[in-house]
């Protein structure tokens, strides 16, 4: 397993709502719908301690894919090489690659990438 961590700091965060196991049990169908439709996240507690987290299946698959990449020495080495290349000025802009400017405002924010051990 690869032990170096790459963290991304974004300007947005996801809000997690906390429910007791009693609340979750009584309205599970409603919470599942909210998770699926609104990307909500619920921490489910038992005796005041978080025991489970309810997330959408898409979010779960995304986390699994991320963990698979982070666990691969080959993938992490390629990511670190890419970061080093960008830091050395070897990157190319969207416009250079695709021949047109990137006009999607959602993709204008670039994550700050740092390495932690």
What value does the mean pLDDT of the chain take? Answer: 80
Give me the torsion for CA of 36, 40, 46, 52, rounded to 10°.
Answer: 60
> Residue 90 in 3-state DSSP?
coil
Lowest mean pLDDT among 29-43, 44-58, 86-100: 86-100
Report d(CA 92, CA 67) in Å as an integer.
Answer: 27
* Domains of the chain from N-terminus onward: 14-55 (3.40.1620.10), 56-91 (no CATH)
pLDDT band at 18 (very low <50, low <70, confident <90, very high): very high
Report d(CA 91, CA 61) in Å as an integer.
Answer: 30
Q: What is the pLDDT of residues 57-100, one digit of tens each?
A: 999 999 999 999 999 999 999 999 998 988 888 888 888 888 88
- DSSP H helices, the chain, are 21-26, 28-38, 57-70, 73-87, 94-98
């Amino acid at each position: 397993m690869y032990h170096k961590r790459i963290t991304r700091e974004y300007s947005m965060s996801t809000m997690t709502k906390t429910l007791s196991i009693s609340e979750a049990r009584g309205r599970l169908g409603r919470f599942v719908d909210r998770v699926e439709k609104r990307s909500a996240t619920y921490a489910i507690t038992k005796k005041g301690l978080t025991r489970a987290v309810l997330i959408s299946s898409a979010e779960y698959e995304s986390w699994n894919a991320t963990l698979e990449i982070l666990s691969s020495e080959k993938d992490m080495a390629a990511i670190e090489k890419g970061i080093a290349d960008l830091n050395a000025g070897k990157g190319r802009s969207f416009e250079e690659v695709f021949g047109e400017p990137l006009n999607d405002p959602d993709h204008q924010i670039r994550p700050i990438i740092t390495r932690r051990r």
